[in-house]
Structure 1
Protein backbone atom coordinates (compact mmCIF):
# COMPACT_ATOMS: atom_id res chain seq x y z
CA UNK A 1 0.00 0.00 0.00
CA UNK A 2 1.32 3.41 -0.98
CA UNK A 3 1.26 6.06 1.75
CA UNK A 4 0.73 9.72 0.93
CA UNK A 5 2.65 12.57 2.56
CA UNK A 6 0.35 15.23 3.97
CA UNK A 7 0.91 18.56 5.67
CA UNK A 8 -1.29 20.85 7.76
CA UNK A 9 -0.84 24.51 8.56
CA UNK A 10 -1.87 25.87 11.93
CA UNK A 11 -2.20 29.45 13.15
CA UNK A 12 0.11 29.77 16.14
CA UNK A 13 -0.42 33.37 17.13
CA UNK A 14 0.38 32.43 20.73
CA UNK A 15 3.82 31.24 19.71
CA UNK A 16 6.59 32.51 21.92
CA UNK A 17 10.24 33.18 21.36
CA UNK A 18 12.46 33.66 24.37
CA UNK A 19 16.09 34.02 25.09
CA UNK A 20 18.09 34.56 28.24
CA UNK A 21 21.58 36.03 27.99
CA UNK A 22 23.93 33.32 26.67
CA UNK A 23 20.97 30.96 26.26
CA UNK A 24 19.69 29.76 22.88
CA UNK A 25 16.47 31.25 21.50
CA UNK A 26 13.49 28.90 21.92
CA UNK A 27 10.19 28.75 20.09
CA UNK A 28 7.14 27.11 21.63
CA UNK A 29 3.55 26.71 20.55
CA UNK A 30 1.04 24.20 19.20
CA UNK A 31 1.64 22.47 15.89
CA UNK A 32 -1.91 21.01 15.96
CA UNK A 33 -5.09 21.53 17.95
CA UNK A 34 -7.37 18.59 18.82
CA UNK A 35 -11.09 18.45 18.04
CA UNK A 36 -10.96 21.62 15.97
CA UNK A 37 -13.02 21.08 12.84
CA UNK A 38 -11.24 22.50 9.83
CA UNK A 39 -12.18 22.82 6.18
CA UNK A 40 -9.60 21.21 3.90
CA UNK A 41 -9.81 23.05 0.61
CA UNK A 42 -13.63 22.89 0.54
CA UNK A 43 -13.32 19.16 -0.24
CA UNK A 44 -13.87 17.83 3.26
CA UNK A 45 -13.65 18.82 6.91
CA UNK A 46 -11.11 17.33 9.24
CA UNK A 47 -10.63 16.80 12.97
CA UNK A 48 -7.49 15.60 14.73
CA UNK A 49 -8.40 13.23 17.55
CA UNK A 50 -6.63 13.44 20.92
CA UNK A 51 -3.82 10.89 20.96
CA UNK A 52 -3.24 11.05 17.20
CA UNK A 53 0.46 11.89 17.64
CA UNK A 54 1.15 9.86 20.78
CA UNK A 55 2.69 6.81 19.11
CA UNK A 56 4.93 8.90 16.83
CA UNK A 57 6.31 11.12 19.54
CA UNK A 58 6.76 8.40 22.16
CA UNK A 59 8.52 5.92 19.88
CA UNK A 60 11.92 4.96 21.25
CA UNK A 61 13.69 5.77 17.99
CA UNK A 62 11.56 8.80 17.03
CA UNK A 63 13.49 11.21 14.82
CA UNK A 64 11.17 14.10 14.00
CA UNK A 65 12.56 17.34 12.61
CA UNK A 66 11.57 20.99 12.98
CA UNK A 67 12.01 22.90 9.74
CA UNK A 68 11.57 26.36 8.26
CA UNK A 69 8.87 26.33 5.54
CA UNK A 70 9.13 22.53 5.05
CA UNK A 71 12.68 23.07 3.77
CA UNK A 72 14.81 20.03 4.67
CA UNK A 73 17.93 22.20 4.20
CA UNK A 74 16.79 24.39 7.12
CA UNK A 75 16.56 22.08 10.10
CA UNK A 76 16.02 24.10 13.29
CA UNK A 77 15.43 21.24 15.71
CA UNK A 78 15.34 17.46 16.01
CA UNK A 79 13.92 15.09 18.59
CA UNK A 80 16.94 12.79 18.28
CA UNK A 81 19.24 15.71 19.19
CA UNK A 82 16.84 16.83 21.95
CA UNK A 83 16.56 20.29 20.34
CA UNK A 84 12.90 19.63 19.50
CA UNK A 85 10.52 18.57 22.25
CA UNK A 86 7.02 17.33 21.41
CA UNK A 87 4.22 16.37 23.77
CA UNK A 88 0.49 15.99 23.66
CA UNK A 89 -1.72 17.73 26.19
CA UNK A 90 -5.47 18.34 26.35
CA UNK A 91 -5.21 21.13 23.73
CA UNK A 92 -3.05 19.48 21.10
CA UNK A 93 0.50 18.84 19.96
CA UNK A 94 2.76 21.16 21.93
CA UNK A 95 6.31 21.81 20.79
CA UNK A 96 9.44 23.59 21.90
CA UNK A 97 12.40 24.20 19.61
CA UNK A 98 15.85 25.29 20.74
CA UNK A 99 17.06 27.26 17.73
CA UNK A 100 20.58 26.76 16.38
CA UNK A 101 22.89 29.74 15.96
CA UNK A 102 22.55 29.80 12.18
CA UNK A 103 21.71 32.68 9.87
CA UNK A 104 18.32 31.27 8.86
CA UNK A 105 17.35 30.56 12.50
CA UNK A 106 18.32 34.09 13.53
CA UNK A 107 16.34 35.47 10.56
CA UNK A 108 13.34 33.36 11.61
CA UNK A 109 13.55 34.57 15.22
CA UNK A 110 13.71 38.19 14.04
CA UNK A 111 10.67 37.74 11.76
CA UNK A 112 8.74 36.10 14.59
CA UNK A 113 9.77 38.80 17.04
CA UNK A 114 8.31 41.41 14.64
CA UNK A 115 5.11 39.36 14.20
CA UNK A 116 5.71 38.67 10.51
CA UNK A 117 5.71 34.90 10.97
CA UNK A 118 3.32 33.23 13.42
CA UNK A 119 2.11 30.01 11.88
CA UNK A 120 3.07 26.39 11.91
CA UNK A 121 2.58 23.32 9.77
CA UNK A 122 3.22 19.63 10.21
CA UNK A 123 3.91 16.75 7.86
CA UNK A 124 2.57 13.25 8.39
CA UNK A 125 1.51 9.92 6.95
CA UNK A 126 -1.76 8.15 7.72
CA UNK A 127 -1.81 4.37 7.55
CA UNK A 128 -4.91 2.54 6.41
CA UNK A 129 -7.37 2.13 9.27
CA UNK A 130 -5.99 5.08 11.24
CA UNK A 131 -8.53 7.57 9.91
CA UNK A 132 -12.31 7.59 9.96
CA UNK A 133 -14.56 9.08 7.27
CA UNK A 134 -18.16 10.20 7.77
CA UNK A 135 -19.86 10.66 4.40
CA UNK A 136 -23.34 11.16 5.91
CA UNK A 137 -22.75 14.91 5.95
CA UNK A 138 -21.57 17.45 3.45
CA UNK A 139 -18.78 18.13 3.38
CA UNK A 140 -17.54 14.73 4.46
CA UNK A 141 -15.73 14.61 7.79
CA UNK A 142 -12.33 12.95 8.16
CA UNK A 143 -11.07 12.18 11.67
CA UNK A 144 -7.35 11.53 12.01
CA UNK A 145 -7.06 8.96 14.80
CA UNK A 146 -3.35 8.17 14.49
CA UNK A 147 -0.68 9.73 12.30
CA UNK A 148 3.00 9.13 11.73
CA UNK A 149 4.50 12.56 12.29
CA UNK A 150 7.77 13.25 10.49
CA UNK A 151 8.16 17.04 10.75
CA UNK A 152 6.83 20.29 12.14
CA UNK A 153 7.58 23.56 10.36
CA UNK A 154 7.43 27.23 11.17
CA UNK A 155 5.93 28.75 8.02
CA UNK A 156 5.51 32.18 6.51
CA UNK A 157 2.69 31.38 4.11
CA UNK A 158 -0.01 28.91 5.14
CA UNK A 159 -2.08 27.03 2.60
CA UNK A 160 -5.33 28.53 3.93
CA UNK A 161 -5.04 31.73 5.95
CA UNK A 162 -8.49 31.54 7.58
CA UNK A 163 -8.17 28.08 9.13
CA UNK A 164 -6.30 26.78 12.15
CA UNK A 165 -5.10 23.79 10.21
CA UNK A 166 -4.93 23.52 6.45
CA UNK A 167 -3.82 20.97 3.92
CA UNK A 168 -1.25 21.12 1.19
CA UNK A 169 -3.02 18.12 -0.07
CA UNK A 170 -2.42 15.13 -2.25
CA UNK A 171 -4.37 15.08 -5.52
CA UNK A 172 -5.06 11.37 -4.83
CA UNK A 173 -7.07 12.30 -1.73
CA UNK A 174 -8.99 14.97 -3.69
CA UNK A 175 -9.99 12.46 -6.38
CA UNK A 176 -11.03 9.84 -3.84
CA UNK A 177 -13.18 12.27 -1.83
CA UNK A 178 -14.70 13.77 -4.99
CA UNK A 179 -15.70 10.30 -6.28
CA UNK A 180 -17.28 9.35 -2.94
CA UNK A 181 -19.19 12.63 -2.73
CA UNK A 182 -20.53 12.11 -6.29
CA UNK A 183 -21.73 8.60 -5.34
CA UNK A 184 -23.42 9.92 -2.19
CA UNK A 185 -25.19 12.66 -4.23
CA UNK A 186 -26.46 10.04 -6.72
CA UNK A 187 -27.71 7.81 -3.89
CA UNK A 188 -29.45 10.75 -2.20
CA UNK A 189 -31.05 11.68 -5.56
CA UNK A 190 -32.41 8.16 -6.04
CA UNK A 191 -33.73 8.03 -2.46
CA UNK A 192 -35.68 11.27 -2.91
Structure 2
Protein backbone atom coordinates (compact mmCIF):
# COMPACT_ATOMS: atom_id res chain seq x y z
CA UNK A 1 0.00 0.00 0.00
CA UNK A 2 2.98 2.32 -0.32
CA UNK A 3 1.44 3.88 -3.46
CA UNK A 4 -1.94 4.52 -1.84
CA UNK A 5 -3.23 8.05 -2.43
CA UNK A 6 -6.02 9.93 -0.69
CA UNK A 7 -8.18 12.73 -2.12
CA UNK A 8 -10.75 14.86 -0.29
CA UNK A 9 -13.91 16.16 -1.96
CA UNK A 10 -16.56 18.76 -1.12
CA UNK A 11 -20.00 17.74 0.16
CA UNK A 12 -21.75 20.70 -1.42
CA UNK A 13 -25.10 18.99 -2.04
CA UNK A 14 -25.85 17.11 1.15
CA UNK A 15 -28.61 14.51 1.02
CA UNK A 16 -29.69 12.53 4.07
CA UNK A 17 -32.70 10.59 5.20
CA UNK A 18 -33.67 8.69 8.29
CA UNK A 19 -33.55 4.93 7.97
CA UNK A 20 -36.42 2.51 8.29
CA UNK A 21 -33.99 -0.07 9.72
CA UNK A 22 -33.32 0.07 13.48
CA UNK A 23 -29.64 -0.74 12.94
CA UNK A 24 -29.10 2.50 11.00
CA UNK A 25 -29.60 6.14 11.94
CA UNK A 26 -29.93 7.31 8.36
CA UNK A 27 -28.74 7.16 4.80
CA UNK A 28 -26.35 9.53 3.06
CA UNK A 29 -25.63 9.66 -0.64
CA UNK A 30 -23.76 11.72 -3.19
CA UNK A 31 -20.59 11.66 -5.25
CA UNK A 32 -17.31 10.53 -3.71
CA UNK A 33 -15.45 11.13 -7.00
CA UNK A 34 -16.33 13.48 -9.84
CA UNK A 35 -14.94 13.17 -13.34
CA UNK A 36 -13.16 15.91 -15.29
CA UNK A 37 -13.33 18.41 -12.41
CA UNK A 38 -10.26 20.11 -10.98
CA UNK A 39 -9.10 19.32 -7.47
CA UNK A 40 -7.75 21.98 -5.16
CA UNK A 41 -4.00 22.51 -5.43
CA UNK A 42 -2.62 19.30 -3.93
CA UNK A 43 0.82 20.68 -3.13
CA UNK A 44 2.10 21.79 -6.50
CA UNK A 45 -0.37 20.09 -8.82
CA UNK A 46 -4.04 20.00 -9.70
CA UNK A 47 -5.67 16.68 -10.48
CA UNK A 48 -8.46 15.46 -12.75
CA UNK A 49 -10.03 11.98 -12.78
CA UNK A 50 -10.87 10.51 -16.20
CA UNK A 51 -14.37 9.01 -16.67
CA UNK A 52 -12.72 5.70 -17.60
CA UNK A 53 -10.40 5.65 -14.55
CA UNK A 54 -12.56 3.09 -12.71
CA UNK A 55 -12.90 0.69 -15.63
CA UNK A 56 -12.15 -2.80 -14.31
CA UNK A 57 -11.71 -1.70 -10.68
CA UNK A 58 -12.98 -4.30 -8.19
CA UNK A 59 -15.34 -2.51 -5.79
CA UNK A 60 -16.68 -5.63 -4.06
CA UNK A 61 -15.01 -4.85 -0.71
CA UNK A 62 -14.61 -1.07 -0.35
CA UNK A 63 -15.14 0.45 3.10
CA UNK A 64 -16.71 3.79 4.02
CA UNK A 65 -14.86 5.57 6.81
CA UNK A 66 -14.90 8.74 8.83
CA UNK A 67 -11.70 10.77 8.27
CA UNK A 68 -9.78 7.83 6.70
CA UNK A 69 -9.69 6.10 10.08
CA UNK A 70 -10.15 2.33 9.79
CA UNK A 71 -11.35 2.35 13.42
CA UNK A 72 -14.31 4.50 12.27
CA UNK A 73 -16.04 2.19 9.78
CA UNK A 74 -19.40 3.46 8.51
CA UNK A 75 -20.15 0.84 5.87
CA UNK A 76 -18.79 -1.71 3.44
CA UNK A 77 -19.76 -2.86 -0.03
CA UNK A 78 -19.34 -6.54 0.90
CA UNK A 79 -21.82 -6.03 3.78
CA UNK A 80 -24.26 -4.27 1.42
CA UNK A 81 -24.27 -1.19 3.67
CA UNK A 82 -22.34 0.82 1.06
CA UNK A 83 -23.40 0.92 -2.59
CA UNK A 84 -21.09 2.33 -5.27
CA UNK A 85 -22.07 3.01 -8.87
CA UNK A 86 -20.34 4.76 -11.74
CA UNK A 87 -22.30 7.15 -13.96
CA UNK A 88 -21.42 9.99 -16.33
CA UNK A 89 -20.78 12.38 -13.42
CA UNK A 90 -18.58 10.20 -11.23
CA UNK A 91 -18.57 7.60 -8.46
CA UNK A 92 -21.96 7.77 -6.74
CA UNK A 93 -22.41 6.28 -3.27
CA UNK A 94 -25.27 5.46 -0.95
CA UNK A 95 -24.35 4.63 2.63
CA UNK A 96 -26.49 3.28 5.47
CA UNK A 97 -25.05 5.05 8.53
CA UNK A 98 -24.81 2.58 11.45
CA UNK A 99 -26.43 3.25 14.81
CA UNK A 100 -23.07 3.65 16.55
CA UNK A 101 -21.49 6.58 18.35
CA UNK A 102 -19.38 7.54 15.33
CA UNK A 103 -22.32 6.90 12.99
CA UNK A 104 -24.67 9.19 14.93
CA UNK A 105 -21.95 11.86 15.22
CA UNK A 106 -21.17 11.78 11.48
CA UNK A 107 -24.84 11.82 10.50
CA UNK A 108 -25.62 14.74 12.83
CA UNK A 109 -22.60 16.72 11.60
CA UNK A 110 -23.54 16.17 7.94
CA UNK A 111 -27.08 17.37 8.60
CA UNK A 112 -25.73 20.40 10.47
CA UNK A 113 -23.33 21.22 7.63
CA UNK A 114 -20.24 20.74 9.79
CA UNK A 115 -18.86 17.92 7.63
CA UNK A 116 -18.62 19.09 4.04
CA UNK A 117 -16.25 16.76 2.25
CA UNK A 118 -15.71 13.34 0.76
CA UNK A 119 -12.41 11.65 0.12
CA UNK A 120 -11.19 8.44 -1.42
CA UNK A 121 -8.12 6.24 -0.99
CA UNK A 122 -6.75 4.59 -4.14
CA UNK A 123 -3.76 3.48 -6.17
CA UNK A 124 -2.93 4.72 -9.67
CA UNK A 125 -2.08 2.43 -12.58
CA UNK A 126 -1.55 5.18 -15.15
CA UNK A 127 -1.59 8.95 -15.27
CA UNK A 128 -0.30 11.79 -17.43
CA UNK A 129 1.19 15.15 -16.52
CA UNK A 130 1.43 18.53 -18.19
CA UNK A 131 2.37 22.06 -17.20
CA UNK A 132 -0.52 24.42 -16.60
CA UNK A 133 -0.53 27.95 -17.98
CA UNK A 134 -0.07 29.29 -14.41
CA UNK A 135 2.96 27.08 -13.77
CA UNK A 136 1.04 24.56 -11.63
CA UNK A 137 1.35 20.99 -12.90
CA UNK A 138 -1.80 19.18 -14.03
CA UNK A 139 -2.21 15.47 -13.37
CA UNK A 140 -4.76 13.41 -15.28
CA UNK A 141 -5.53 10.08 -13.55
CA UNK A 142 -6.27 7.69 -16.42
CA UNK A 143 -6.55 4.37 -14.58
CA UNK A 144 -7.07 3.49 -10.92
CA UNK A 145 -5.69 0.18 -9.69
CA UNK A 146 -7.52 -0.27 -6.41
CA UNK A 147 -10.15 1.71 -4.51
CA UNK A 148 -9.64 1.06 -0.80
CA UNK A 149 -12.09 3.42 0.81
CA UNK A 150 -14.35 6.43 0.59
CA UNK A 151 -14.44 8.75 3.61
CA UNK A 152 -16.58 11.52 5.00
CA UNK A 153 -14.05 14.27 5.83
CA UNK A 154 -13.86 17.86 7.00
CA UNK A 155 -11.61 19.42 4.34
CA UNK A 156 -12.13 18.29 0.73
CA UNK A 157 -9.65 18.43 -2.16
CA UNK A 158 -12.42 18.34 -4.77
CA UNK A 159 -15.14 20.96 -4.36
CA UNK A 160 -17.54 19.40 -6.88
CA UNK A 161 -18.47 16.29 -4.89
CA UNK A 162 -21.48 16.13 -2.62
CA UNK A 163 -23.25 14.13 0.01
CA UNK A 164 -26.85 14.34 1.09
CA UNK A 165 -28.90 12.90 3.91
CA UNK A 166 -32.22 11.76 2.51
CA UNK A 167 -35.41 11.81 4.57
CA UNK A 168 -37.33 8.56 4.18
CA UNK A 169 -40.84 8.45 2.77
CA UNK A 170 -41.89 6.30 5.72
CA UNK A 171 -40.87 9.02 8.17
CA UNK A 172 -42.90 11.61 6.25
CA UNK A 173 -45.92 9.27 6.19
CA UNK A 174 -45.55 8.57 9.94
CA UNK A 175 -45.43 12.30 10.68
CA UNK A 176 -48.57 12.88 8.59
CA UNK A 177 -50.38 10.08 10.47
CA UNK A 178 -49.31 11.56 13.80
CA UNK A 179 -50.60 15.01 12.81
CA UNK A 180 -53.89 13.49 11.64
CA UNK A 181 -54.28 11.57 14.94
CA UNK A 182 -53.43 14.72 16.90
CA UNK A 183 -56.07 16.65 14.93
CA UNK A 184 -58.70 13.95 15.63
CA UNK A 185 -57.73 13.89 19.33
CA UNK A 186 -58.00 17.67 19.62
CA UNK A 187 -61.42 17.68 17.92
CA UNK A 188 -62.72 14.92 20.21
CA UNK A 189 -61.50 16.72 23.34
CA UNK A 190 -62.86 20.09 22.20
CA UNK A 191 -66.42 18.77 22.29
Partner in structure 2 of residue 132 of structure 1: 128
Unaligned runs of 5+ residues in structure 2 are: 161-191
Change (3 A) 1:43 1:79: same
Quote how far apart the aligned CAs of 1:21 are. Answer: 4.5
Change (3 A) 1:136 1:91: closer
Partner in structure 2 of residue 114 of structure 1: 112
- Normalising by the residue count of structure 1, what TM-score does the alignment of the two structures yield? 0.73
Quote how far apart the aligned CAs of 1:88 are. Answer: 1.1
Quote how far apart the aligned CAs of 1:157 are. Answer: 3.4
Partner in structure 1 of residue 159 of structure 2: 164
- In 2, Cα distance between equivalents of 1:126 and 1:22: 37
Partner in structure 2 of residue 14 of structure 1: 13
- SS of 1:108's equivalent in the other structure is helix
- In 2, Cα distance between equivalents of 1:164 and 1:107: 23
- In 2, Cα distance between equivalents of 1:71 and 1:136: 34
Instruction: Return the structure number with greater relative CO, CA threshold 8 A, min gap 6.
Output: 2
Partner in structure 1 of residue 63 of structure 2: 65
Change (3 A) 1:101 1:40: same
- In 2, Cα distance between equivalents of 1:11 and 1:136: 23
The structure with the larger Rg is 2
- SS of 1:40's equivalent in the other structure is coil
- Normalising by the residue count of structure 2, what TM-score does the alignment of the two structures yield? 0.74
Partner in structure 2 of residue 105 of structure 1: 103
Does structure 1 residue 150 correspond to structure 2 residue 148?
yes
Q: Is the 8 A contact 2:85 2:91 kept in 1?
A: yes
Change (3 A) 1:27 1:76: same
- In 2, Cα distance between equivalents of 1:22 and 1:80: 18
Quote how far apart the aligned CAs of 1:17 are. Answer: 1.2
How many residues were matched structurally?
156
